[in-house]
Every structure is written in C-alpha cells, then in structure tokens.
Structure 1
Amino acid sequence: MAHSSQSSARASLEFSTAELTGALGDSVTVLPLLVALAAMTSISLPHVLVGFGAFQIVWGLYYGMPLSVEPMKALVGLAIVGTLSYPELAAAGVLAGVTLLVVGRLGLVGRLQTVVGEPVVRGVQFAVALLLLEAALDLSVESLPVAAAGLAVVAALTLFGYHKQSVLVVLGLGGFAAVASAGVPTPQLPEAAFFPAGAPSFSAAALEGTVAQLGMTVGNAAIATALLCEDLYDRDVSADDLSQSMGVTCLAAIPFGGVPMCHGSGGLAGKYAFGARTGGANVLLGVGYLALALVAAGAVLAAFPLALLGVLLVVIALELGRAAFDPVDTHQSLAVVVGVGAVGLLVNVGVAFVLGTVVFLVLENRKRDATNATAGRA
C-alpha cells in the first residue's frame, strides 16, 4: 500500500547494514567518474564531493527513500574527453538546471520525452560511451602493464560475480598507489569560494552538451526514476517533481564548485539491489562523501596512475554502451542508436542529438501514416 502522506514517507529513515551496503551500491559509478573528471579537468574534487554529500542527504531526507544523486553522465563524459572545459561544464549545468526547473514546474517532462524519442537518448549514451572508450585507450598506453593488471583484476572479480564492485577495487588500488607516491594527505576543509574552478562559459559547445544531456535526463533521471519509485518503493513521485529537484540541485551546487547532478534509475535500482530501503542510505553515503572531501587532496589525485584511470573509463564506457542497447526493440531503433553514436563520435554529440531527433520524428511520422493507411484500407 502506498504511503498515506508525504510527511510519513519523508520520515522514513533507517541506519542499518543493509542501508550502508545499498549506499555503497550507488557509489560504484559515481566515484570513478568524479576521479576521472578531476584528473582530466580543472575541477576541485573536494568541492564536488561536498556537493554530492550535501544533496545525497537533502534528497534522502526530503523523499524518505534512497533516491540516487549522480553526475549528469553525458556532460561529465564530454568534459572528461576534453570536448567541454570546466567553465563550459558549469555553464551547461546552469542551463540544464534552469530548464529542468521550468519544465518540471510547468508539467512538461512527459511531452519532452515524446518529442525526443528513446532511441535518440540511447544513441547519446552510445556516443558518450564511444568517446570515453577512446579516452580510455589514450590513457592506458601510458603504462600498458599497469592497464593490463587493472583489466585482469576487473575480469577476475567479474568471473566471481563482483562486476559492479570491480571498479571500486581498481579505484582503491589506484588510490593506494597515489598515497604511496604523494604521501598521506592532511585533512582540511575545502575553501569556501564562488565558482572556485572558474566562472561559467556559455559557449556553443555548452549549449550543445546541454541539449544532448536533457534528452538523457528527461528519460532516465525523471520518467524512468519516477516509475521505479512506484515499482520498487510503492511511492508516487512524479517525473515533474524529480525534474524540479534536479534543477534545484544544479543551480545550488554549481556556483560553489559542484558539477551537474541528476537522479538516475540505475542508481536507484542499484541501491535497492544492495539492500537500501529508506533515506538513511542517502544520509550514510552523504556523510561518507563529506568525509572523503576532507582528504581528496590535489597532490594525491595528481599521483593517481593514468593507466588505471583508463581501466575505470573502459568499464564505465562498456556499462554505458550496454545500457544503450538494452533493450532495442526494432531494427529501426537500432539504426537510430548506432547512427547517433557514430555521428557523436565523429562530429559531436550536440549535432548527433539534433540530427537523431529529426530522423526519429520523420520515421515516426512515416510509421503513423502507414498505420493510418492500413486502417483506412481495412
């Protein structure tokens, strides 16, 4: 039975071993992406971790369930591979935040999804996966023996059924090597500053990245997550509410050095699979991120082995690519996914998104006309 009131739902907090393991399930993709982003751009990892910690706690308390807080993968992926600078990433996050807040407030989330089309969204995922894989190969050649060892660890853990945890193990090994090289960091509070890594740059690349990201966010982080809230937690949370909370998150975090963040159906499902049932998982994970922010020193990050970073990106790219093709229901949809991915790799993701949307709408109109013609003859 659904909760009778939002207040009772929001009061749902437990702090158990299951909530802790569920919280860790959500960090599997978040931490490797953040470390990769910090290693490849000018962001301040402590500031980013503070943002994630704060909003894990905020939305865990507000919704009373282990709602996911993740990086916006298209934008973060484009920044990792060098398509977006950090100022452009910040600008894209501001644009996305404003858009999500407005469309959620006006109740337009569902309408946006019908225009974009799921195959186009999956094509953007595939494009970002290809770009990450390309960057991973470039990093891995820094030290092929180290990269091979990292891949061997991932393969071994996967064989024993610990595929999702393998990235955290590789991340831990890289962190251990970095501390051994740079020394144990002294805990210190991140400096309070306005746009500590640079003011937003509202360029054409930032706008293109925003448009591509919004397609993914509307489908995966708003609509799909709202459905999972009902399926897994028996909670009636609208996609428009989730859109507004994502908009608030971006607009509040980015001025203080954060990155664009969203909810995500994959993260929510991951928390559930690992045992999380209440907002307590978010509180525990948020506290963990805040504690990690105290020791995420730049010197340690600079000493992180680039070849292991490449291994992390390979795993993330494969996961993102797998999600892009699971499921693809028709050959027509498959063609759109592959086409958008190829254009995204060879040209850029913004152009791929726009062209993919046009092609999708044309194909849908043709399908509708054919259906109407068949019905007319009948």
Structure 2
Amino acid sequence: MKTNFSFTFREFSGSLADLGTIIPFVVGVVTVSKMPITPILLWFGIAYLATGIYFKLPMPVQPMKVIGAIAISQSLTQREIVSAGVLIGIFFLIISSTDILEYLEKIIPKCVVRGIQLGLCLVIIIKGGEFILKDLEFGILSGFFFGFCIFLKRDWLFVPIVLFFGIISGIYAHGIPNIALTQIKITPVIPDSNEVISSFSVVFSQIPLTIMNSILALSLLIKDLFKYEVEEKKLARSVGIMNLVSVPFGGIPLCHGAGGLAVHYRFGARTGGSNIMIGLLFVAIAFFATSELLSIILYYGFPPIT
C-alpha cells in the first residue's frame, strides 16, 4: 500500500463523497438541540485532519447514527448529547487497551460483517431514492450527470458537479453571501449526574453498531480495498479519542464507518490527502462562513433531515 499523500482533484472529489451523510445529520441535530454549528464543523475538520495524517487513508469521519437519530427524534439537549459522547469515548478507549475486539473478530463470522456492509449499501440506495423523490427535478438532473460521468469514465467528477449546482441554485435564490472571519466560541459543556445516567440507554443502543460498522466491518473493508491491515484496537482508540476531545467542547459524537470509506473510495479517494483536503475545508468554513454562506452550503448543497 502507498503511504504517501496525494492532493489531486480526484482525491478532493472523493473527500466530498460522504457529505451527504454528514451534513443532513449535523443540520438535524443542530436544529433540535440548538447547538452552535461552527464548533461542530471545526471539530469535524480537526478529526478529518488527524485521522488522515495518522492512518494515511481516506478514513471516514461520521456522526454516530443512533445517537444522532435519537437526538433528532427525542429533541435531546446538548448536555445530554455530551453525556452520551463522553461515555462512548471512555468505553472505546478502554476496550482499545484489551483483546475484546480481536476476540469478537474471531468469533463473529465474516458473512455477518459482509451482511452489515450489504445492509449499509441498501440503506444508502434507499436514502438516495428518498432524496431524489423530495426534489425530483434535481434528482433527475443529478442522475443525468452521474450517467454522463460514467460514460466519460470520470465518475469521480459527479460529487463536485452536483454540489456545485446545488450551491449555485442557493446563490441564485439568495444572492452572493458575505464572507467574513467569524469568532468561534468553544465553551466546555459539563452535564449533571441525571443527564449522565439518562444517556446510558442511548450509549447502549449505539455501541453494537459502532463495534460492527466502525471497527470490524471497516477493518475488513480496508483489507479488501487497500490490501493493508489496520488493527481493530487502533480504530477503537481513534473513536474514543475523537469523542473525548471534541464532544465536551462543542462537537457531536463521531465515529468511522465502512459505508463512509466505500463512498470515499468509490469517488476517487485513495490516500490520507483526501482527509487533509476535506479537513481544511471544514476548518475554513467554520472560521470564515457567515450565516448566509452556511445557509447556502448546508440547505442547498444537502437536504436536512428534520
């Protein structure tokens, strides 16, 4: 496996491929919890940068799906989200220092892990169909561009083209937004004991999915795509550190994911350079995006799930 960093347009295209998962969840959580969005974007950028440099792979960084879904459906507060994220971080940091994950990797049949990968593919297909039906004209146009890119054998161009047209439609509707340096307020959030206790049910719901998808399935997919082995312990440690460092200071619970790696790879990402590019983009948006620019990027580039 090559360990160098590539910074080509193809890598950049692949780096954008998972935004369709990230942005709708972020918008949904921010809408119901009233969390400030700029620290969330900043921590996403830092996590992408750190994991790209450490793993030297297009390592996906995603919101935790179960916690995100519960936060949206039950209108969790930021303090409740922080409680869940910190507990998750502690759990995965602890098991990363044991042999539990290696034991699970041996006793869980590969067909089960493959089934999870297939299930994630089906979820992506279904969610894509829902997005198309919400905006049929734009969905048909996106399908046309995807087919055209495949015809040209440049399918990795699809993501930036569709994102570009989404942002252009936002500019057409609202005009050119102002861009200015913004102040990011990072304030520690400390939940009380009741909020910590109430978050255990959310944590227990998230842990099995994270172990299977973010660690076991992801490790197997890395072997398939890159012929390179990343120890399950390293992935668990990464999940633990990301959450313990970011969540108490304005971030949301983060993980990796086999589906995220699949789409990064499918649309051109092959090295850690893709993580560095998308990480710098997140950091730049966090520092320079005004409310008008954020509205265009978040609501026209991607549909929120609220």
Does 2:300 align with 1:289? no
Q: 1:87 is matched with which residue: 72, 79, 84?
A: 79
Structure 2 residue identity aligned to 1:99: F
Query: What code does the residue aligned with 1:207 have?
Result: F
Of 3, 7, 14 in structure 1, the residue corresponding to residue 6 of structure 2 is: 14
Unpaired runs of 5+ in structure 2? 148-154
Any residues of structure 2 matched to 1:220-239 within 5 Å, and which? 220-239=213-232
Offset at residue 91 of structure 1 (A): 0.7
Asked if structure 2 preserves the Cα contact closer than 8 Å seen for 1:18 and 1:276, the reply is yes
Structure 1 residues 355-370: aligned runs within 5 Å: none
Task: Work out which of the residue numbers 19, 22, 45 in structure 2 matches 1:53.
Answer: 45
Give the aligned partner of residue 75 of structure 1: 67
Maintained 8 Å contact 1:66/1:271: yes
Question: Which residue matches 1:202?
Answer: 196
State the shift of 1:298 in Å. Answer: 5.0
1:76 alignment partner AA? G
Aligned match for 1:184, one of 172, 178, 188: 178
Cα distance, 1:69 vs structure 2: 0.8
**Aligned counterpart, 1:172:** 167
- Which range moves more in the overlay, 220-229 or 19-28? 19-28
Any idea what SS the aligned residue of 1:313 has? Answer: coil
Q: Shift of residue 37 of structure 1? A: 2.2
Aligned to 2:18: 26
Q: Distance in 2 between matches of 1:288 and 1:309?
A: 15
The aligned residue for residue 319 of structure 1 is: none
After superposition, the Cα gap between the structure-2 partners of 1:16 and 1:81, relative to the gap in structure 1 and judged at 3 Å, is same
Contact 1:217/1:262 (CA < 8 Å) preserved in 2? yes
> How big is the shift at 1:184?
2.5
Question: Offset at 1:154?
Answer: 2.4
Deviations 1:79-136 (A, max 9, x none): 1223422211111111111111111211212556869x969x97xx99xx9xxx9xxx
State the TM-score, normalizing by the size of structure 1.
0.63
> Does structure 1 conserve the Cα–Cα contact (< 8 Å) formed by 2:32 and 2:75?
no
CA deviation after TM superposition for structure 1 residue 313, in Å: 2.6
Distance 1:178 1:296 in 2: 18
TM-score (norm 2): 0.77
Correspondence for 1:154:
139
The amino acid across from 1:193 in the alignment is T
- Mapped to 2, the partners of 1:188 and 1:305 lie a distance apart of 17
Could you tell me the percent identity over the aligned residues? Answer: 26
Instruction: Output the CA distance in 2 between the equivalents of 1:174 and 1:43.
Output: 27
Query: Is the 2:32–2:76 Cα contact (8 Å) retained in structure 1?
Result: no
Larger Rg: 1
Query: 1:108 is matched with which residue?
Result: 100
The farther-off stretch of 159-168 and 83-92 is 159-168
Counterpart of 1:212? 205
Q: Distance in 1 between matches of 2:81 and 2:249?
A: 14
Change (3 A) 1:281 1:148: closer
For 1:346, the equivalent position in structure 2 comes to none
- Once residues 6 and 297 of structure 2 are traced to their aligned partners in structure 1, the CA distance between those partners, rounded to angstroms, is 35
Does the CA contact (< 8 Å) of 2:33 and 2:71 recur in 1? yes
Query: Residue type of the partner of 1:216?
Result: L
In the other structure, the counterpart of 2:56 is 64
Whether the 8 Å CA contact 1:53–1:287 is kept in 2: the answer is yes
Residues 254 and 260 in structure 1, CA contact (< 8 A), matched pair in contact too: yes
For the aligned residue pairs, the C-alpha RMSD in angstroms reads 3.8
Summarize the alignment of residues 260-275 of structure 1 with structure 2, pairs less than 5 Å apart: 260-275=253-268
Paired residues in the alignment total 281
- Return the structure number with greater relative CO, CA threshold 8 A, min gap 6: 2
The Cα of 1:14 is off from its aligned counterpart by 1.5
